[in-house]
Amino acid sequence: MKILFCASEVSPFAKTGGLADVAGSLPGSLQKLGCDVRIFMPLYRGVRNAAGSIELLAGDIIVPVGVHDYHVHIWEGRTETGIPIYFLEKEEFYDRSYLYGSPVRGDYEDNPERFIVFSRAVRQLCLALDWYPSTFHLHDWQTGLIAAYFQLNWRYDSNFLRSGTVFTIHNIAYQGLFPPEIFGLTQLPPSAFSIAGMEFWGQCSFLKAGLVYSDFLTTVSPRYSREIQTPEFGFGLEGLLKERRESLAGILNGIDTNVWNPETDPLIPANYSSEDLSGKKMCKSVLCKELNFPPDSLDLPLLGMIGRLATQKGFDLLEKILPDLMKLPVNLVILGTGDSSIEENLKETALLFPDKLKVLFEFDEKLAHLIEAGADIFLMPSRYEPCGLNQMYSLRYATIPVVHATGGLDDSVIDVLKEPDSGTGFKFYKYEPQSFLDSVKSAIQMFNNKEIWMEIQMRAMAQDFSWDRSAREYIKVYEKASSRKRIGIPRRTDL
């Protein structure tokens, strides 16, 4: 089985969120199961450093976008586990400070061009390698057009006759919506700009292209796959997803247990395991010191929160409960980047509770590991959460999560209050401040019962979130996608 991962971010080369973690770790598990898996991503600024030695695979390839011909290069490298990874170089598009846009000025205006070029270069990559995947595994809106190019053009090429496409929705709220004028740049047949194609209420939706034209769709947890078929979570695409439900599967993300393993994690000051949690205490002590919490803080439960500063992540609930939460015997550390209004609100509140609340607005992988290891309780009150990775990292690091029972949070955390003998965390079921606060209070109360708390920690650490099981499910999906009976009149095209 030959799989080409096409993703706009892949850890450790470039990352803004969970997509990068998935694209960086699932390929390794597929390879272990015997797949010939390769990865394609843009050569952003900083990638060259992270990638070590890379070699030119194909230089001066011409990719047409509208009336422009862009000259691009494709570089070849290897991931740490030896997986071939190809990088699309086009300085004017990818050599920038951010992946998709700046926090101050918003999304880059030429994002359509940037990801049309990336999408169209996929075929050129296959030709340069003379390697044709059985499945193109596409991820999120940035790669939606690849499905359209494949379905409407490439599949008629004899090289691709046995190929199929799988599109994974990591977050349906991000749709790659652009004004209708940009449709011309895609050079897709006019019929593709219709309700049965990639048109979404008069606009061009790259995500919808992926949803309409891919052979099979997946999303990152079973519950989210059901949620996105409802108006509350479907962001206007619920009807289409309902129609395609026979070709939609929810597969819970795994975690990279090499990167997120308290027994071996090189980014934390002391390692620990379920047999001996003393290293966790040391991590808490280092974290408290680094954050300048007062010396007596070690006995108080330390709450942690890491994530994009976006309303999706439940910061509206957090802001509402913060004054009450800060009256409790707890400390809280928040690490995140994103929405500047959320940042401002948190900053203001932090000024009121300088000894109890620390907020850090940076993207810091090392600190993220230290918080996972050093905190006692992890907060994840997301309004919706396709899968969520931090709650799984937390479970593995014996940092008990408090989560809103939605999407992957609901699928990966077992409620201690409902199932005391198997519970691994605390869940609240109504997206309301009081429910969230009550849930945090339950966790704090339980934290003070050291014996029960330790039992919960042991169960949390024993959960298996390795990729192996999910990778096997993906292989079944790849088989379905590439065995799809294709209809249509073969014709050659160089789109």
CA–CA separation, 346 and 388 (whole Å): 22
Task: Identify the sign of the CA torsion 112, 114, 117, 121.
Answer: negative
Interface stretch with ligand ADP, choices 50-58, 232-240, 330-338, 484-492 (CB under 6 A)? 330-338
- Locate all alpha helices (DSSP H) within 291-339, ordered by sequence: 315-325
Q: Does 18 bind ligand ADP (CB under 6 A)?
A: yes
Q: What angle do CA 273, 274, 280 make, to 5 degrees?
A: 55
Least Å distance between CB 365 and ligand ADP?
5
Of 84 and 304, nearer to ligand ADP (C-beta) is 304
Interface stretch with ligand ADP, choices 122-130, 272-280, 303-311, 350-358 (CB under 6 A)? 303-311
DSSP class of 209: H
Taking CB under 6 A as the criterion, the residue among 36, 364, 438, 479 binding ligand ADP is 364
Q: Does 379 bind ligand ADP (CB under 6 A)?
A: no
Of 61 and 335, nearer to ligand ADP (C-beta) is 335
Q: Does 425 bind ligand ADP (CB under 6 A)?
A: no
Least Å distance between CB 60 and ligand ADP?
35
Of 14 and 65, nearer to ligand ADP (C-beta) is 14
Least Å distance between CB 427 and ligand ADP?
17
Residues 6+ apart with CB under 8 A from 427: 402, 403, 404, 405, 409, 410, 413, 415, 417, 418, 439
Q: Which of residues 383-402 bind ligand ADP (CB under 6 A)?
A: 387-390
Taking CB under 6 A as the criterion, the residue among 98, 108, 131, 363 binding ligand ADP is 363
Closest by CA to 95, choosing from 43, 54, 40, 52, is: 43
> Which residue's C-beta sits nearest to ligand ADP?
18
Q: Does 343 bind ligand ADP (CB under 6 A)?
A: no
Query: Before 12, cis peptide (omega within 30)?
Result: yes
Q: Does 365 bind ligand ADP (CB under 6 A)?
A: yes
Least Å distance between CB 119 and ligand ADP?
21
What x-and-dash track marks residues 169-188 binding ligand ADP by CB under 6 A? --x-----------------
| Paired residues of 484 in beta bridges | none
Of 199 and 372, nearer to ligand ADP (C-beta) is 372
For ligand ADP (CB under 6 A), the number of binding residues is 19
Taking CB under 6 A as the criterion, the residue among 5, 10, 13, 17 binding ligand ADP is 17
DSSP string, 447-487: HTSHHHHHHHHHHHHH----HHHHHHHHHHHHHHHHTPPP-
- Between the alpha carbon of residue 299 and those of residues 47, 309, 352, 401, 480, the distances in Å are 42, 29, 22, 19, 53
Instruction: Report the DSSP pairing between strands 377-380 and 302-306.
Output: parallel
Of 220 and 321, nearer to ligand ADP (C-beta) is 220
Contact present, 357 and 350 (Cβ < 8 Å): yes
Interface stretch with ligand ADP, choices 199-207, 362-370, 427-435, 477-485 (CB under 6 A)? 362-370
| Paired residues of 85 in beta bridges | 39, 77
Task: For residue 165, give the 3-state DSSP assignment.
Answer: strand
Residues 6+ apart with CB under 8 A from 191: 197
Of 111 and 390, nearer to ligand ADP (C-beta) is 390
Taking CB under 6 A as the criterion, the residue among 308, 441, 480, 486 binding ligand ADP is 308
Q: Does 306 bind ligand ADP (CB under 6 A)?
A: yes
CA–CA separation, 375 and 280 (whole Å): 9
**Site residues, ligand ADP (CB under 6 A):** 17-19, 21, 171, 306-308, 335-337, 363-365, 368, 387-390
